[in-house]
Amino acid sequence: MRRRALALPAILISYSLIYILIWNKSSEKWLRTFPSFQAFNNPKRISELFWSSGEEIRENLLSSTVVSKPSLYLSSTTNRNRKGSSEYRRTSSPSELKRQINITPIPIIYKENFTKLPKWDFEDVYVQSSEARRPVCSASLQNSKDEKFQKAAMWNIQLWFHNGHLDVREWNRLAHFNNPFGFMEYNYTVIKKAVDLIPKPIYNQLLPVPSNSADGCIRCAVVGTGGILNGSRMGKEIDSHDYIFRVNGAVTKGFEEDVGNKTSVYVHTSFSLSQAIFNLEDYGFQHIPQDEGIKYVMIPEGLRDFEWLDGLLQNETMTYGSYNGYAPLTFYSDRLQKDTFYVLHPDFLRYVRNRFLPSERLEQPYWAIYRPTNGAFTLFLALHTCDIVDVYGFITEDYSKYSNYYFERTTKTNVIFYLNHDYELEIKTWKKLHNAGIINLYQRQEQ
C-alpha cells in the first residue's frame, strides 16, 4: 500500500552499465571539433538495416570508431557482443575524473539548423548492458533465422534510463540528438535533476520466465488500441499469454471479450497517460491499468516528461511546466513502486528509429517531429523482453475498414494519420515482421 519507496532520493549509482569503447573516442573527437556542424555535409548514412542490407555502414562504424585505450580498459572476458566492439566499465580512473571535471555542456545544437536529420558518426552507437537477458527458450525470436532482423537487432542494448546515467560527458553525446532520441536544445541542469531521481530498476529483466513454464519461453501479447479489435473476440486469446503489454488509452472494462482484461506492462508518455485519463472517461477509462504485479514503462518523449518525472518521483504537485497544478503520482496507483517503474533509454528509442523505422521524413525539413508511435516502441520493447510475441490492435493495410480505436464502437471514425508518425512505414514493418515469423500479427480476413 505504501508508495513511500518511490520518494526515496536517488542514491543508487549503477556500476553495472557498460559503455562501448567507441563512445569515449567519439566524444573526444567532437570536443575538439565542435562547433563545426560537420554533420551538415556528412555523407554517412545511418543504417537502415532492417530495410536494406546496411552492410557497408556497419563496417564503417566499427572500423572507424573502435580504438583501444588501455588505461581505462577493464575486461574483455564478459564481452559477448559482436566481433569488433569492445566495452568499458563506467568507473573512472583519477585521470578520467579530472578530465570529466574539466568538460562543460556543449553549446546548444538547434534543430532549425538542419534541413534533414543530421548524421553524426556516433549516430548508430548505443549504450549496451551487461545484464542483458539470455533466453533459454529455443523458440525465442532471438533465434530467428531472418538475417536482416538479426543484423539490425542488438540484444544487449540498454533498455532503461536511470540515475547514474547522465553526466556531462554523456550529456554531450545525447545533446546531439533531438527528443526523444536525445536532448538537443534542452538544458542539462533540468534534465539531469530529473534523471537523477529515476531509481535504477531492481529487476533489470522486465518479465521473469513464468514459474510454471516447461520450455523457458516468455509469451507476450502486445495490444494496441486499433479499431481492428472491435468485434474480434480476441480477449480470451490475449489473456492466455504470460504477459500482456498495453499502451496509451488501454481501456479494457466493457471490452473484455475483444481485448481481454489483464495488463502486465503499461507503456505511456506523460501526455498519453494524462490524455487518456482526461478524454476517455466516457469509454470507461477511469484510471490506468493497475493489476497486481503490473510494470509501468515510460517513454520520455520530451521536456514535459522530465518535468513529470521531477514531480512524480518526489510526490509533488507541479509548480511549473506543462503539468502545473497536477500531482503526477495521483495518475498512477499504489502499484507504482521502485520495482515496478521503468523509463526507456533515449538510445533504445533512437535504435528503434534508426534500425527498424527510418522514415523518409528524416530526409525532409520537418525531420525533427518524426518519431515511431508509442505502440511501435511498445512492440519493440516486447521484442527485447519476450521470446514469443503476438500483436493485436496494431495498424494493418486494411485499416480504413475499422475505427481509429477499438473503443469507438458505435460510430466509425476515420483513422487519423498524425504528421509526427509514419503509419505507412509501420504498416509495412508489422507485416514484414509477421511474414518473417518474428511476430504473429492479428489481421482479419472477414468483412
Ligand X SMILES: *[C@@H]1O[C@H](CO)[C@@H](O)[C@H](O)[C@H]1NC(C)=O
Interface residues with ligand X (CB under 6 A)?
Answer: 3-4, 6-7, 110, 112-113, 187, 189-190, 230-231, 256, 261, 315, 329, 403, 408-409, 412
Whole-angstrom distance between the N-terminal and C-terminal Cα of the chain? 47
SS3 at position 152: helix
- Helix, strand, coil in percent for the chain, rounding step 5: 35, 10, 55
Extract the C-alpha cell encoding 107: 553549446
Would you say 133 or 176 has its CB closer to ligand X?
A: 176
Q: Which three cell numbers stand for residue 186?
A: 534542452
Beta bridge partners of 266: 246, 296
Whole-angstrom Cα distance, residue 60 to residue 68?
Answer: 17
As a whole number of angstroms, the distance between CA 117 and CA 358 comes to 11
Tell the smallest beta-carbon distance from residue 329 to ligand X (Å): 6
CB closer to ligand X, 335 vs 384: 335
Q: How far is the CB of 320 from ligand X (least distance, A)?
A: 9
Nearest approach in angstroms of CB 137 to ligand X is 26
As given in the structure block, the three cell numbers for residue 289 are 491499468
Query: Measured from the CB of residue 186, what is the shortest distance to ligand X in angstroms?
Result: 9
Q: In the bound complex, what is the minimum distance in angstroms from residue 376's beta carbon to ligand X?
A: 24
Please say which residue, 95 or 113, places its beta carbon nearer to ligand X.
113
Decide whether 130 or 315 has the Cβ nearer to ligand X.
Answer: 315
Q: Which is nearer to ligand X, 98 or 233 (CB)?
A: 233
Q: Are 262 and 244 in contact (CB under 8 A)?
A: yes
Q: Provide, rounded to whole angstroms, the least separation between the CB of residue 411 and ligand X.
A: 6
What count of other Cβ atoms lies within 10 Å of the Cβ of residue 108? Answer: 13
Tell me how far CA of residue 447 lies from CA of 99, 309, 443, in angstroms.
Answer: 65, 44, 11
**Strand positions, DSSP E, 21-172:** 87-89, 128-129
Q: Quick one: 258 or 426, whose CB is closer to ligand X?
A: 258
Q: Which residues pair with 389 in a beta bridge?
A: 220, 439
Q: For residues 6 and 159, which CB has a smaller minimum distance to ligand X in the complex?
A: 6
Do the Cβ atoms of 381 and 388 come closer than 8 Å?
no
Whole-number minimum distance, CB 69 to ligand X, in Å?
31
CB of residue 5 to ligand X, shortest distance in Å? 8
- 390 — phi, psi (to 5°)? -105, 135
- Is the Cβ of residue 146 or residue 185 nearer to ligand X in the bound state? 185
